[in-house]
């Protein structure tokens, strides 16, 4: 069962990376595994630290390369929330992010199924969007 789902994942990665002319490498697999196994929107640096545990020779630049590869082929999203490091998210379903301005934690939130159409200027071509909500998470809201 485990092996089977693992095989499926591998196939999925190979397929998606293929659409951008990229290969599935052990490093890309590893970086993807890091993202999937703890969905706390880690920074590249955090991904590096976690990936290093399983693959001690992996380098900094490779982690950035891998993250870029995953983003380019639609396997992960970059999440830009505040000044400082960019974060990454392997959840490719349509969703928004809630950012607690106190503790900094990030939560995925569902977006309404029917989203209103945003009018973009004539000639512009939109192909995606990000929604971020700012506020306090339950923990931090309680403490105020």
Q: If binding is defined by CB under 8 A, does position 105 make contact with a copy of itself?
A: no
Q: Which two tokens stand for residue 66?
A: 């891998």
Q: Can you tell me which of 2, 83, 122, 142 binds DNA, judged by CB under 7 A?
A: 83
Q: Can you tell me which of 38, 82, 94, 104 binds a copy of itself, judged by CB under 8 A?
A: 82
Q: Can you tell me which of 1, 2, 3, 21 binds DNA, judged by CB under 7 A?
A: 21
Q: If binding is defined by CB under 7 A, does position 84 make contact with DNA?
A: yes
Q: Which does 62 bind (CB under 5 to 8 A by kind): DNA, a copy of itself, none?
A: DNA
Residues 6+ apart with CB under 8 A from 66: 25, 27, 28, 30, 31, 32
Residue 95, φ and ψ in degrees, nearest 5: -160, 165
DSSP state of 43: B
Quote the distance between the C-alpha of residue 9 and its chain's center.
16
Q: If binding is defined by CB under 8 A, does position 132 make contact with a copy of itself?
A: yes
Of 107, 112, 31, the C-alpha closest to 71 is 31
**Which window, 1-9, 18-26, 30-38, 123-131, contacts a copy of itself (CB under 8 A)?**
123-131
Round to whole Å and give the CA distance between 142 and 144: 6
User: Which residues would be at the binding site for DNA (CB under 7 A)?
Assistant: 17, 21-23, 25-28, 43-45, 55, 57-62, 64-66, 68-69, 83-86
């Amino acid at each position: 069962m485990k092996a089977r789902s693992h095989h499926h994942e591998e196939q999925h990665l190979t397929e998606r990376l293929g659409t951008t002319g990229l290969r599935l490498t052990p490093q890309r697999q590893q970086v993807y595994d890091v993202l999937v196994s703890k969905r706390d929107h880690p920074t590249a640096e955090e991904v590096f630290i976690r990936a290093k545990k399983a693959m001690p020779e992996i380098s900094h630049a490779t982690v950035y390369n891998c993250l870029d590869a995953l983003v380019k082929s639609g396997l992960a999203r970059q999440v830009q929330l505040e000044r400082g490091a960019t974060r990454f998210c392997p959840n490719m379903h349509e969703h928004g992010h809630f950012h607690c301005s106190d503790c900094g934690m990030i939560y995925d939130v569902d977006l309404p199924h029917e989203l209103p159409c945003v009018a973009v200027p004539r000639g512009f071509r939109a192909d995606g969007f990000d929604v971020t909500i700012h506020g306090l998470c339950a923990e931090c809201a309680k403490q105020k």
